[in-house]
Structure 1
């Protein structure tokens, strides 16, 4: 199999051309022939036109790509090594929604040929590959697993929007149903993963390893979020506390914030679901999930509190939210918790405007019915929330920010650098600034979740500042 692949006598197929599948397809296409399949014909059309809707590899790379993009499932019959990289979301009740991976298995099964190897990359709870996917493949193909075709599992570790940790420099966990299959899968992935692979002893071990990676991160962020709630009640700045604690060599570098997306906010529920089936009710994992799931409401409530303290009328107020994707520098809006903030604010009667240069407009409109606004059209606001730290937002100054609000006193931060030549002069200027803004009903509420702006400079310039 491996020799035929590298000699281009056989092809690899990628089933699912999203944030995970597309980079994998492109990486393999530099070594072997690749068929890229997706059920969405519009997405395939974009790829064929040289447009990368995921922004993971870029338009220029797509234009020169040798991947055979298609939405015709029969094309899958031309491949012998198949990689399934489709989403595994959760339902509203937080139970796993396996419909995408079941559907992909049916599609692949209808077009599976003897001698094929199928590798699943989707994040699942231990047992899904062997107990759910294999029976579907057998039923649809009429072939027998272990005799006519083989199956493996290699969990995706691609971090959407991350230009540093890429497929080629992240160790790939691989597993196969037998030794021969494992060796073939390892050799194939080693073609594109420069740092090598880790061979897991079983498919279930590999499934479990993936699902706990994001669960661990989720719990650590939940701890930070709980700390931020506690310190907020104590009127202590959480970021300052973490900077101080972070000077110790073994302090873990996590920060509070909204936890959304298709991985960290979803994967823990797969593990707890399976645990519950086995008679164990999770305590730590679900507690962390509850904290993180409630952070959108918490942010909205604190925004409202700041507005009330500023004597602003909440009902009919205008609030701008900068950033709606689940993370920075990424167009993915799946399971974004910024939507929770927006919904909560609207429940209070606020009129919310959303700005995001990165977000996929079509997905945003389809999933949430939200239309985006250009930054220059943001004026007359009562509060501005910076929810996602896109690089574009880092170019916004406090002067730029001031123009987005209703008219009010404003002290230009750079005056401090020009006037404050001594600590005494600085204190005089800062004191004057605070006197100018002491009447909070004239203040402008700035909610800065990730600390894009200096807290001290923002407050000195007359903003009512808050961050988690």
Structure 2
């Protein structure tokens, strides 16, 4: 009986090493078909899962309560499985070079508990060569086993999109690879248990690694182009969203929009590719240029916020701004590598007090990572500007009338005087319309906002 058949008949188990936004959905999906051990070094996270709580919101607490996944932080439990999937983060260091510490640590942990006849599949985003040249030696050293003789390896890049309820593991074509044909066939058949739309067999592990790292690099470059257009059109006094709507009527125009690029994928993966390129003597031009544009967009948003506040005759030092949304993307609690922080830090450099509203963000991670406690928006008053940075669906119910109530009131006598000054002034200082609305992703209708007296700006 093959390993695949043993897994299917529950005579062998699958293990998931790393139960974050990627690993958890995979574990839950496989548990519907076979026996699964879910391992993570974070004991607090494991306890939440055991209590039926899903802090990632990727599968939902109800699914966690009903799953048969054996959640554990006891690494020796990995010895009970013979098909292992490693799904740990692969971030970058402060100097923007790959930080392989998580995947190396996971390899060490798994190696200490690896048994003969096992297959190890990596899902973490890496540059070509990491699986075979870095991970395999660690597995061999820790286990005392020989790759290709006592165990085999494969690579199947994760394609789960956190916060996306449409594109899930089950309906995204899965790229799979293996060190030989037998391993490739087993990996393909195992993933075929949970991927309804089928798998694509890459010709080698390095090809699969490269395919993954360019997927996000390509998206990063396209968003960088949109961000550069936004900067140009802003200087020309043209609305970028209106331009894109017009251009989008052509059948082959690519549907991208400007925005902040953070998180643990798009804003990180290109650096893995350029790092490897440097090792072989090539300095990236397009990829790194796109990265620079996207990395600077938080500061760009903050600078334009200050400009609009000056136009509204605001005192900058000591003013108060509220930012709606701090996660790296909409409808997702993940705050890792969020570029909204760049906006906040830049505003604080101007002496501005910044409040954050985000009902979606993981509050514990938010405090642990950035020492930020979110506020309830209904309780915020006396602000000088508002920034809608992340378009969570929870914000859809907020109306332009609601936002105005948060602003610092102007006394009637003072307001009448200002109106007189404004009527005779030839300057571009807008004294009457002092409500500054920065709508990063275009959640609101521009014309409606301006008709209501907002000083409005968006990418």
TM over 0.5: yes
Deviations 1:330-388 (A, max 9, x none): 00001100000000000000000000010001111111111111111211110000000
Among 46, 52, 55, the alignment partner of 1:53 is 55
> 2:249 is matched with which residue?
247
Determine which of 249, 261, 264 is the counterpart of 2:263: 261
Indicate which of 457, 460, 466 corresponds to 2:448.
Answer: 457
Aligned match of 1:145 in 144, 147, 171?
A: 147
Which of the residues 395, 415, 435 maps onto 1:444?
435
Residue 440 of structure 1 aligns to a residue in which SS? coil
Would the aligned equivalents of 1:324 and 1:359 in 2 still touch at CA under 8 Å?
yes
Give 1:384's match in structure 2, choosing from 383, 386, 392: 386
Aligned counterpart for 2:43 among listed residues 41, 44, 66: 41
With the length of structure 2 as denominator, give the TM-score of the two structures: 0.95
Aligned residues: 443
The 5-angstrom pairing of residues 397-436 of structure 1 reads 397-407=399-409
Q: Would the aligned equivalents of 2:310 and 2:429 in 1 still touch at CA under 8 Å?
A: no
Q: What displacement does 1:324 show?
A: 0.2
Secondary structure of the corresponding residue to residue 80 of structure 1: strand
SS at match of 2:300: helix
Q: Does 1:206 align with 2:208?
A: yes
Classify the secondary structure of the residue corresponding to 1:107: helix
1:362-420 residue CA offsets vs partner (Å, 9 max, x unmatched): 1111111111111112111100000000001111001111111112599xxxxxxxxxx
Q: Which residue of 2 is the match for residue 99 of structure 1? A: 101
Name the CA distance, whole Å, in 2 between partners of 1:408 and 1:233: 31
Q: What CA deviation, in whole Å up to 9, does each residue of 1:135-186 have, x standing for no partner?
A: 0000000000000000000000000000000000000000000000000000
Flag structure 1 segments of 5+ consecutive residues without an equivalent: 411-433
In structure 2, the residue matched to 1:72 is 74
Distance 1:93 1:466 in 2: 33
Aligned partners of 1:448 and 1:467 also within 8 Å: yes
- Residues 230 and 258 of structure 2 are in contact (CA less than 8 Å); yes or no, is this contact kept in structure 1? yes
Counterpart selection for 1:338 from 331, 336, 340: 340
2:278 corresponds to: 276
After TM superposition, give the deviation of residue 441 of structure 1 in Å. Answer: 2.5
**Deviation (angstroms), 1:440:** 1.8
Q: For residues 411 and 139 of structure 2, what CA distance do their matches in structure 1 show?
A: 67
**Contact (CA 8 Å) 1:259, 1:293: kept in 2 or not?**
yes
Contact 2:311–2:429 at 8 Å: present in 1 too? no
Specify the alignment match of 2:418 in structure 1. Answer: none
- The answer to whether the Cα contact below 8 Å between 2:120 and 2:154 also exists between their aligned partners in 1 is yes
Q: Which runs of 5+ in 2 are unaligned?
A: 413-421
Aligned to 1:132: 134
Where does residue 86 of structure 1 map in the other structure?
88
CA distance in 1, matches of 2:429, 2:7: 71
The residue aligned with 1:429 is none
**C-alpha RMSD of the superposition:** 1.3
Give the equivalent residue in structure 2 for 1:20: 22
Q: TM-score, normalization: structure 1?
A: 0.93
Distance 1:98 1:456 in 2: 48
Instruction: Find out whether 1:393 has 2:395 as its counterpart.
Output: yes
Look up the SS of the partner of 1:205 in the other structure: helix
